[in-house]
Structure 1
Amino acid sequence: MQAPELAVSRWFNTPSPITLADLRGRVVLLHAFQMLCPGCVAHGTPQAQRAHALFHHAGLSVIGLHTVFEHHAAMTPVSLEAFIHEYRLTFPIGVDQASADGPIPLTMARYEMRGTPTAILIGRDGRVRHHGFGQEDDMALGAVIGTLLAEPATS
């Protein structure tokens, strides 16, 4: 499936908004998380930071997506900014745009995410190539990233 565009209300760690169209030709790791999600804090977010550090220069763009579908009042942009600082996250992070129709944010709904953490890999061609939910082994995710990075760039 072609990766749906991100619906982001605010960005952190980037001077300007990011679109998937801008990243065409690069492999994208979309890391969906909530700062109050134990699996995100203990595993998913550190894994995304490691992937960013290891593969950024090889053509991987890591994008964090703070997708809040519960505890809305506690997870404000001010709280997220402190979280990003405390955990020393250096990859761009967008705040998933709230839906007018319910608690599930727009990007989360577009990708049919079941919860957080979710790791989505998008190939150089803009197609979703991996959609993982929950804790994924570093080696297994790294193998998929390596496979996608080895594929030739599309023209």
Structure 2
Amino acid sequence: MESGIVGLPAPPLEHVRWIDDNGDERSPLTLAELGRGFKILYFFQDWCAGCHAHGFPTLVTLAEKFHGKGVGMAAIQTAFEGSDVNTFDRLRENQRRYGLRVPFGHAVADPVLADAVLAIMETYRSSGTPWFVVIAPDGRVVYDGFRLDAASLVRALRPLAA
């Protein structure tokens, strides 16, 4: 699988089962529903130590800094392994554990794909977890990778965020 989609239009959020920012199951989420400004997607697994040590704290910082500033966010669990542990029910637990009032999704395996790679991972070309994607208001991906420095992103987006 080729890694990274920086500069390309962000793909739709397909084959994902969602809960809303209150933890209630909801219909599929679109990127447009995250707003017209910048969007941040966070891909994780419940059992991923790096997701809890780095990824979630980064997302919490970003959620606090951009609250009310027009930056949309969503977290997506990509259970490409350990599907017996990385379950849909873990979404609410992680949402509450970190106090994140953002939609959470659980990637559902695409029956067309023969291997263990999930459709959302294929379309976003993520290489594991924790993985961040930042999408500009024009719909193009401007960041796609493992490590995201929250302070640097806040400095870069603050003048551009609504």
Question: Is TM-score (shorter-chain normalized) higher than 0.5?
Answer: yes
Q: Give the Cα separation in 1 of the matches to 2:124 and 2:39.
A: 14
**Which structure carries more helix by proportion?**
1
Q: Give the Cα separation in 2 of the matches to 1:123 and 1:143.
A: 15
Q: 1:8, CA displacement in angstroms?
A: 4.1
| Corresponding residue number in structure 1 for 2:3 | none
In structure 2, do the counterparts of structure 1 residues 106 and 97 end up closer, same or farther at CA, with 3 Å as the change threshold? Answer: same
Q: Give the Cα separation in 2 of the matches to 1:147 and 1:132.
A: 23
| Match status 1:137 vs 2:144 | no
Mark the runs of 5 or more structure 1 residues left unpaired by the alignment: 151-155
CA contact (8 A) 1:24 1:125 kept: no
The one-letter code of the counterpart of 1:26 is G
Q: 1:132, CA displacement in angstroms?
A: 2.0
Identical counterparts, % of pairs? 34
In structure 2, do the counterparts of structure 1 residues 80 and 20 end up closer, same or farther at CA, with 3 Å as the change threshold? Answer: closer
CA contact (8 A) 2:134 2:142 kept: yes
Task: Give the counterpart of 1:13 among 4, 8, 20.
Answer: 20
Q: Give the Cα separation in 1 of the matches to 2:15 and 2:157.
A: 24
Q: Which moved more, 1:27-36 or 1:96-105?
A: 96-105
| Alignment coverage as a number of residue pairs | 149
Alpha-carbon RMSD across the aligned residues, in angstroms, is: 2.0
Q: What does 1:4-153 correspond to in 2, within 5 Å?
A: 4-14=11-21, 16-23=27-34, 25-100=36-111, 101=113, 102-133=115-146, 135-146=147-158, 148-149=160-161
| Corresponding residue number in structure 2 for 1:153 | none
CA contact (8 A) 2:35 2:70 kept: no
Q: Give the Cα separation in 2 of the matches to 1:62 and 1:146.
A: 15
CA contact (8 A) 1:69 1:103 kept: yes
| Corresponding residue number in structure 2 for 1:3 | 10
Q: Give the Cα separation in 1 of the matches to 2:142 and 2:16.
A: 25
Q: Give the Cα separation in 2 of the matches to 1:71 and 1:110.
A: 21
TM-score, normalised to structure 2, is 0.81
Q: Give the Cα separation in 1 of the matches to 2:103 and 2:61.
A: 14
In structure 2, do the counterparts of structure 1 residues 5 and 148 end up closer, same or farther at CA, with 3 Å as the change threshold? Answer: farther
Q: 1:84, CA displacement in angstroms?
A: 2.6
Q: Give the Cα separation in 1 of the matches to 2:118 and 2:29.
A: 18
